[in-house]
Every structure is written in structure tokens, then in C-alpha cells.
Amino acid sequence: MLAGNWKMHLTIGESIALARAVVEGTTGVTGGDVIVAPVFTALASVAGVLEGSQVAVAAQNVFYEDKGAYTGEVAPAMLRDAGCTYTLIGHSERRKYFHETDGTVNARIKKALSAGLKPIVCVGETEEEREKGVTEFVIGQQVKVGLYGIDSLEHVTVAYEPVWAIGTGKNATPAQAQEVHVFIRRLLGGVYGGAAADSVRLLYGGSVTSENIGRLIGMEDIDGALIGGASLKSESFIGIIKTVSGG
């Protein structure tokens, strides 16, 4: 799975143009899933462009209620109506700037699944937490609390994004990323069983480029990537996709 998180970039027109370029650039590419996550205002327009293609649409966030007096929030059914198949949940920027917690992440995951959306759950440690040697504790809490009460992992993807590598130009080495991915998979195996844990796709995110994706994806437990800045230009995003697919 290769998912492009466009964050708070691109107008509707720019989003449509990029979506068209991604569709054209991935024609003939087979295997795996390609996803783009535009801003809320562009979701329906991008979904229209991608209809019938192999590229799916994700929202960047979702609320944990179906409707009500929640100014500025968007419910899961509304995202489905706009053409979304997936939604990001718990991205570190949501946790940092909007004070989302493991508990609200859990509520979002449950509501998304009940509405038929497939959550891509983001976890990751800060640079300070890594330096203190508490990476596994932090990731463990995020995974265990975030997935508490979730009976099945069938439609769940987990994205490991070290906070210190997002938009900084730094990235975890393939060995560092693999180490955390192994930890997450073992943690999931202890709760859901080995077969279920083995089937979950674990993505790496954090300054992913066409230059480093090959080394990252070559690691046994890295099943794809959540891509930020490099997904905003069709050339770099398609380059990553083709590197992984061998196209």
C-alpha cells in the first residue's frame, strides 16, 4: 500500500490535476493499493476523477459521531458519501496541534469501521522519546489503546511514522523502521493471533522518497508507505509507485 497524504495543500483544481496525473502515471501498474488523501473540500472532486481507476481516496481525518452540533467536524458517512474508502486516523500532526489522544483515536477507529471506512492508524514517537529509549512503550500504548475493543484487523492498516522524521528530511534507517514494525506486529500477534498480525499491512512514513523507498520496502515487515511531501508532485509520487511495483 502506498498512500499519499496531501495535508493542507492544493486547491480543488490543483487536486483534480494531480489526481489525473496519478491515474495516467499508474496505468498498467499492478499489485498493491494506491491511495491519495486530499483536503476535505477536494474529496468529492478527486473521487470523481479516480472513479473506475485503481487509485482510492482517503480522508485525512474523521469524527467519532454520526451527526450533531460539532462545528467543523466530518462524520464517517459523509466521507463515504464523498467517495472515500479509507481514512487516516491519529496522524501525529492531529495529536500535536489538535490534541487528539489515544482514546479519541480509538473512538474514531470504531466509528470509521462501523461506517465501512478502512482506517489507516498512525503511530510514532518524538525525537525526545526515542532519545530517552521509550519508543516501544510509546508505540505500545498508541497501538493497544488505539485498537482497544476492535475485534478484527481485517480492514485496519497501521502506519509507523516517527514524528522526528515527518517533513524534516530525516528518515529512520530501514533497520530502525523494521525494528519498530517487528515490535508492532508482535504486539498485534499477542492480541489477535499470528495469522491476523501477519496479514495486517504496516506502512512506514517520514520523509519517504523515490530514493529511499526501495530500501525501506525491502525490509520484511514494511508493507508500504505513507508519503507526505513527495506525494504532492506527480513525478515523485509516481516514481515511488513504480519503484515499488517494478514498473
Site of grid cell 459523509: 78
Mean pLDDT on 94-117: 97
Boundaries of every domain in the chain: 2-245
pLDDT value of position 171: 74
CATH number of 2-245: 3.20.20.70
CB atoms within 10 A of CB 11: 11
Q: Are strands 157-160 and 34-37 parallel, antiparallel or unpaired?
A: unpaired
pTM score: 0.96
Which three cell numbers, joined as nine digits, stand for 39?
483536503
Euclidean distance between the first and final Cα of the chain, in Å? Answer: 15
Q: Give the integer Cα–Cα distance in Å for 2 and 146.
A: 22
**Which residues touch 239 (CB under 8 Å, ≥6 apart)?**
210
Residue 233 identity: K
Indicate if the pLDDT at residue 167 is higher than 80: no
CA distance 245 to 231: 16
177-213: per-residue pLDDT in tens?
999 999 999 999 999 999 999 999 999 998 899 999 9
**Percentage, residues of the chain above pLDDT 70:** 100
Is pLDDT at 107 greater than 80 in this prediction? yes
pLDDT (average), residues 151-172? 88
Q: What is the pLDDT of residue 247?
A: 67
**Mean pLDDT within 152-167:** 92
For residue 234, is pLDDT > 80? yes
Q: What is the C-alpha to C-alpha distance for residues 75 and 67, in angstroms, rounded to an integer?
A: 6
Which amino acids are annotated catalytic? 91, 161
* Cβ atoms of residues 197 and 157 within 8 Å: no
